[in-house]
Copies of this chain bind each other. A is one copy, B any other.
């Protein structure tokens, strides 16, 4: 019983009965009520008044639901990295862009937090995230590769991309653990630490 997403669309063909965003919304409500794992795709489909099979026209898997419009964000990330000239040091570009990338408007903050809580705390999603992070790392690695004049798949670009992702995740986990913490400040600190080789203070007995 598809709701009428009415009004002429200008395009031929049957109108969509719902949207990714709406499905995501419905699903998040269920996740909040009963948890991610205990929510079946049947539950979501029923709550959204679509057929189970139709769910898979909107999302490739249940694990993809919390990712929203991730692809768009990747485009944004790439453009933002390109905006800096070669006068700004490599790691500083990454730090600035990463911080800007994660500046969310206050009214979206609770929503963003729930999303990240799912992605970083539900085992099935932690696991699946790895596959999404690949694309994210690729964007970083391409940027670093251009900067260093090395192929994207060389050791340095890949290692830096992996390391940046790593410290970013550590910062995110801190943010989820302590609600007093500022996400952008944590990210800034983490990337700075990385760029400094984790500080002279970590470097031995010297004092």
Contact = CB atoms under 8 A, between A and B. Distances in A.
Contact of A174 (B155, B173, B196, B197): B155
Copies in the complex: 2
A110 interface: no
Given A89-B203, A126-B130, A167 B171 contact: no
Interface of A is mostly: helix
Nearest to A167: B159
Nearest to A181: B155
Contacts of A88: 204
Contact of A198 (B91, B165, B177, B193): B91
Contacts of A174: 154-155, 158
B155 A162 contact: no
22 contacts: A87-B205, A89-B203, A90-B198, A90-B202, A91-B197, A91-B198, A91-B202, A91-B203, A126-B134, A127-B131, A129-B130, A155-B171, A155-B190, A155-B193, A159-B194, A161-B170, A162-B163, A162-B166, A162-B167, A163-B167, A194-B197, A195-B203
